[in-house]
Structure 1
Amino acid sequence: MAILLLIIIYLAFISLGLPDSILGAAWPAMQNDFQAPLSAAGLLFMVVTSGTILSSLLSGRVLLRYGTGRVTLVSCFLTAAALFGFFISPTFLWLIFFSIVLGLGAGSIDTGLNHYVANHYKAHHMSWLHCFWGIGATAGPVIMAYHISSQEGWRSGYLTLAILQFCLVLILFISLPLWNLKRKQPAHSSGEEAASIEAASDPGSHPFRIKGVKLAMLSFLFYVGAEAAVGLWGSSYFVHVKGMDPSTAAQYISFYYGGITVGRLITGFVNFLASSRMLILSGQLISLAGIIFLLLPLPDGFLLPALVLIGLGFAPIFPCMLHETPVRFGARASSVIMGYQIAAAYVGSALIPAFIGLSASFISIAIFPFFIIMLILGMLYTSEKIHLSLKHK
């Protein structure tokens, strides 16, 4: 039963990744239909992420009251309804409304499943969980590219994704008894969990006073902002700067997420040989090399390998930074600090892509790679400074 439930959780995380990458792939085609400025995609992305932040902040009490299975079921239904809403939206204002619904659904799924796996399954399953998110994020642009290239249009792409999500809703509804059976089993570390809950609910605790926390939050903000920005604006960069057609550009973005997915699968094995800190550093340098390749006057044949290289570099950074949290700050404090880091990550994904889009509308989308370089360098500086400061404390 535990294995069956784990498979369902993996499927749910695939569904979480599907809509995360689809807007950037579809936007060049959507922009023409709605006669919207280039920066409007950044606004939609910010609205989705704001809804995600709100639902994540509220999810703790909701999960305790209703359980992960029910919350995941309702959240997936909201996500499916939002994707269907994109399909039928007659105006840009309707896209904004359904972006709110999409964010509210996604945040609860993300928080609930990460928490559930952390408490009921062994640690290596967390790496595979984020790998399955990558599968969804890779499949989304592929589906959208197919519908755009076949002249069915971006709306048909959203309809296909909505149907897939509604199928998952049905699976989750049937599997509700499995969640209840698993929930009755005692947590593997109830003492630590109780201490974490106590620390998290202590009004006198101040994570900002702990050395390195602010830098860690900046690292998460820089990373998630960079990852989201490449996914959102990479397609527009290839269309407007490199002269690609929208369907090819959408396919290229799927290879970017494919690089993240394959990289995280590999990371799960490499972690037996290398420390999380080394994987973080290596990932930052690899992604930096990839984005520099985009700027060099190289033939178009180098664009796809460069994008895959960025994805491979990004792959280990987020899960390894999560894994480093108790190493850096201790097991008890990490329960509170983890929440602060995730919040910073969502803020980065909300603000940074929107800021890049706004800047591009005033200047040019050609500035996009320079922003990514600055974010990677900022991430590199903060993560290494954390290591050095904690090493000498």
Structure 2
Amino acid sequence: MTAIPLPDTYKTINRLSLILLLITYIAFINLGLADTMRDVAFPYIRSTFSKPLEASGLVLLAGTIGYMIASFSSGQVVTWLGIGRMLALSVTLRAIGLAGFALAPTWEILLLVSVIIGLGGGLLDSGANIYVAANYGATPMFWLHAAFGIGATVGPLMMTGLIERLDQTWNVGYVVASGLHIGLLVIFIFTLKYWSTS
């Protein structure tokens, strides 16, 4: 296989490793996309649930609680499951949470699924960082965080386009984000056996 040299680490990336690296980049694009849609969507969300503007802080707090729990326990989770299953679990939680966010019938359920989204986000963030740092080095790690930035840019644009251009509700944006995570889960399932050998 053709190897790509990384001058900063003197490591090489074979074809399989490159594919897995690209999957982590796609995962981080999804992470950034879904996490930043809320800023555009919240004025419409609060209208749906008849909440004041400052209620956005509760949504953020709920997500942060989930994220912190996942981050603090990520070392144990990766020991139990391995990196591939941990990443698959993370996108499963986020797919469920994002779908639940879109379909939440009450404010309390919206806050609950925000915790689930945060749990998935914390595991995905930790897992991808662990994997890239251990297997690729500094330059790919830089691009991992750049991938998050791409998603963070696209997310608000997508939500704005759905609401203002296509006349859709904010819920549709979260359904789309959930669908993207389901697609990513399928990719993780099909590549699961390769993560421990890369």
Matches within 5 A, 1:270-285: none
Shift, 1:122, TM fit: 2.1
TM-score, normalised by the number of residues in structure 1:
0.46
How far apart, in 1, do the equivalents of 2:67 and 2:120 lie?
7
Q: 1:134 aligns with which of 138, 149, 163?
A: 149
CA contact (8 A) 2:45 2:170 kept: yes
| Residue 175 (1) aligns with residue 191 (2) | yes
| Residue 13 (1) aligns with residue 63 (2) | no
Which residue is 1:43 aligned to? 58
| Residue 92 (1) aligns with residue 120 (2) | no
Whose relative contact order is higher, 1 or 2, with alpha carbons under 8 Å and at least 6 apart? 2
Which residue is 1:62 aligned to? 77
**What are structure 1's unaligned runs of at least 5 residues?**
183-393
1:145-186 CA deviation, whole Å, 9 max, x = no partner? 11111221101111111111111110111111220221xxxx
Q: What amino acid is aligned across from residue 159 of structure 1 in structure 2?
A: V
Q: 2:167 aligns with which of 151, 158, 164?
A: 151
**SS of 1:152 mapped into structure 2:** coil
Q: What amino acid is aligned across from residue 181 of structure 1 in structure 2?
A: T
Shift, 1:29, TM fit: 1.3
**SS of 1:61 mapped into structure 2:** helix
Which residue is 1:80 aligned to? 95
Rg comparison, structure with higher value: 1
CA contact (8 A) 2:163 2:170 kept: yes
How far apart, in 1, do the equivalents of 2:48 and 2:123 lie?
31
CA contact (8 A) 2:101 2:113 kept: yes
Q: 2:178 aligns with which of 162, 165, 172?
A: 162
Q: What amino acid is aligned across from residue 119 of structure 1 in structure 2?
A: A
CA contact (8 A) 2:162 2:168 kept: yes
TM-score, normalised by the number of residues in structure 2:
0.89
How far apart, in 1, do the equivalents of 2:134 and 2:90 lie?
20
Shift, 1:75, TM fit: 0.8
**SS of 2:51 mapped into structure 1:** coil
Matches within 5 A, 1:282-297: none
1:19-66 CA deviation, whole Å, 9 max, x = no partner? 211111101111111110111111100110111001111110111221
How far apart, in 2, do the equivalents of 1:81 and 1:46 lie?
19
Which residue is 1:101 aligned to? 116
Which residue is 1:261 aligned to? none
1:246-280 CA deviation, whole Å, 9 max, x = no partner? xxxxxxxxxxxxxxxxxxxxxxxxxxxxxxxxxxx
How far apart, in 2, do the equivalents of 1:178 and 1:48 lie?
31
Which residue is 1:29 aligned to? 44
CA contact (8 A) 2:36 2:155 kept: yes
Matches within 5 A, 1:342-353: none
Which residue is 1:214 aligned to? none
Which residue is 1:125 aligned to? 140
How far apart, in 2, do the equivalents of 1:81 and 1:142 lie?
23
Which residue is 1:320 aligned to? none
1:319-369 CA deviation, whole Å, 9 max, x = no partner? xxxxxxxxxxxxxxxxxxxxxxxxxxxxxxxxxxxxxxxxxxxxxxxxxxx
Which residue is 1:114 aligned to? 129
Shift, 1:128, TM fit: 0.4
1:79-103 CA deviation, whole Å, 9 max, x = no partner? 0111100111111111101001101
Q: What amino acid is aligned across from residue 18 of structure 2 in structure 1?
A: I
Which residue is 2:7 aligned to? none
CA contact (8 A) 2:28 2:148 kept: yes
The percent identity for this pair of structures is 39
How far apart, in 2, do the equivalents of 1:48 and 1:3 lie?
31
How far apart, in 1, do the equivalents of 2:181 and 2:155 lie?
12
How far apart, in 1, do the equivalents of 2:63 and 2:176 lie?
20
